[in-house]
Every structure is written in C-alpha cells, then in structure tokens.
Amino acid sequence: MGRATARNWTGDLQVAPASLASALEPVWSQQPLVIMGSFLDTSADATIYRETLGLGEMLCLKFAPPRQSANIWLYLPDMPLPNTPEFQPAVFSQACTLISFYRSQQRFAVLLVEDVPMRSQLGAALAGEFGSRVQVDRQPAGNKGILVCGWDFWQQHQRQLPAPGLLIVATLPLPSLEDPVVAARVSYHKQRHQDWFRLYLLPAAIGAIARGVLPLRDNQGVVALLDNRVNRRSYGPQILDALEPYDRLSYINPNWFG
C-alpha cells in the first residue's frame, strides 16, 4: 500500500457546519435565554442575528451610547473607490495629513488596511515619513506609536493596545471571497438562493466596524473612513447607522487635534 506524505504544509483546517440554526433551534426552547452584546444586528429586532442562530421571537432592547460621552468625530472625505489605481496614493496622502496634525498629541494612532500588499507598501511609505514609530502588524513600543494592520489584528489586540485617538479606516471590513471559509459560507447561501451579501458579508462588516471604533468613544477620538462606498452604495447608510453617535465632517478640522 502506498503512503502519501505531506511536507512543509502550513495552514488551518476548519470544520464547522455552514448553518447553526437547525442545530441550535431546539436548544433555545429548553430554558430562558438572555443575550447581551456590544453589537448584534442593525435592525431593532435583530432579524438576521436571530435567523443565523435559530432564535425565535424575542424581546430586543437596544441601548444607544450617550452622545455626550461616547461621541466620535467621523471624517468622510471624497475619495476614489478602492478598486481604482488612484486609491492607494489618496490613502497615503490622507494618512500623512491626519497623522501630521495628530503628532502634536503624541498619542497612539491606527491605520486599518485589509489588502496585504497595500498594507506593506503604505507601512513602508509612512515609516519613511514618521520613522520607527510606524509598525506593520506589530505592537508599537510605548503609547505614541502608529500601527498599520488589518482588521483581524486590530480585533484580536485592541483590548491590549492603548486606546487610539485616531483610527484611519482605508477599506470596509467586508469578508474576502478569497478566504475559503468565507467562500464556503457564501456558497451555502447561494445554493439556497439567498441574498448572501445581506445575510452574511454586510452583517459581518457592520459588526466589525462597530466594535472596532469602541476604544475611541471614551475620548471622542477621530475616525477617518476613506472607503467611499459608504457614499455610493445602497448599504452605506447601514454602515453609518452602526457608527452612531458621531459628528460628521468632510474636511479636517484642526480642533479635533487640540
């Protein structure tokens, strides 16, 4: 009998059901249930969240953060779309301008770039401008660094990192169809003729961005959203609703930086 040998194989093997609803639905009816979270769904009755987990009708309460103490500054400039050649230079220009204003505060700043080659290139270019304070996918030393990373890194480490006063979002955290796990979930919805973008990709992105800005709410930080799809796509208002409360401007206000 022959034997197959795998050498130098690296990666993750993930096994999970494509849908949890049918397996969990009988469990929920066996006892009272209370679910609490910083962000569950965009709709008041958490429709998509309940459908995903097989939850029936529930009393849903949404407690909005107080505007006086949890407000952020939301900067939404007019930008090229992410799939255009002009996008990366425009991101670099915006990041340089914002960080230059922000340097006087000597506080932690974060630039979120999901595309790996772009992340490396922007990190190198920013390091040329701001020196060793810039780190790519690594925690900067001290509380005055500039972190360039992807959404996964930020979500995994934001509790251990200093709370930034400036968060620059290059692109929305829409799951990539190049990820096999994401592709499998999308395929599951397609086979059932379901709206896979509305049921999976969009809720995942909205949840990620709502949780990603939480550290900035304690000190009225600045969130620069450079992905112009929020202005040009039908789902843009849902993204912005998840960022409430905020004060929105399309230009840089120096008063943000003291």
**pLDDT for the residue 218:** 83
Give the pLDDT confidence of 203-244 residue by residue, as tens digits: 999 999 999 999 998 888 999 999 999 999 999 999 999 898
Task: Verify that 129 and 218 share a domain, yes or no.
Answer: yes
**pLDDT for the residue 32:** 85
**pLDDT for the residue 25:** 86
> In terms of pLDDT, which residue wins out, 47 or 117?
117
pTM value is 0.84
* pLDDT for residue 77 is more than 60: yes
Task: Verify that 175 and 219 share a domain, yes or no.
Answer: yes
Q: Is 196 within a domain?
A: yes
**Average pLDDT of span 56-73:** 78
* pLDDT for residue 106 is more than 70: no
Could you count the other beta carbons within 10 Å of the beta carbon of residue 237?
A: 12
CATH number of the domain bearing residue 79: 3.40.50.300
Please say whether the beta carbons of 55 and 28 come within 8 A. yes
Task: Verify that 128 and 36 share a domain, yes or no.
Answer: no
Give the pLDDT confidence of 121-141 residue by residue, as tens digits: 999 999 999 998 899 999 887
Task: Verify that 188 and 233 share a domain, yes or no.
Answer: yes
**pLDDT for the residue 174:** 94
Task: Verify that 222 and 247 share a domain, yes or no.
Answer: yes
Query: Domain range holding 26?
Result: 21-53
Q: Is 61 within a domain?
A: no
**Average pLDDT of span 159-181:** 91
Task: Verify that 141 and 208 share a domain, yes or no.
Answer: yes
* pLDDT for residue 164 is more than 60: yes
Q: Is 10 within a domain?
A: no
**Average pLDDT of span 102-126:** 89
Burial of 168 per CB tally in 10 Å (0-12, 13-18, 19+): buried
Task: Verify that 205 and 161 share a domain, yes or no.
Answer: yes
Task: Verify that 113 and 80 share a domain, yes or no.
Answer: yes
* pLDDT for residue 68 is more than 80: no
Task: Verify that 163 and 224 share a domain, yes or no.
Answer: yes
Q: How many domains does the chain have?
A: 2
* pLDDT for residue 8 is more than 70: no
Task: Verify that 130 and 30 share a domain, yes or no.
Answer: no
Q: Is the peptide bond before 245 cis (omega within 30 degrees of 0)?
A: yes
Task: Verify that 84 and 165 share a domain, yes or no.
Answer: yes
Task: Verify that 98 and 126 share a domain, yes or no.
Answer: yes
Percent of the chain at pLDDT > 70 equals 91
Model confidence at 171, in pLDDT bands (50, 70, 90)?
Answer: very high
Model confidence at 4, in pLDDT bands (50, 70, 90)?
Answer: very low
Model confidence at 52, in pLDDT bands (50, 70, 90)?
Answer: confident
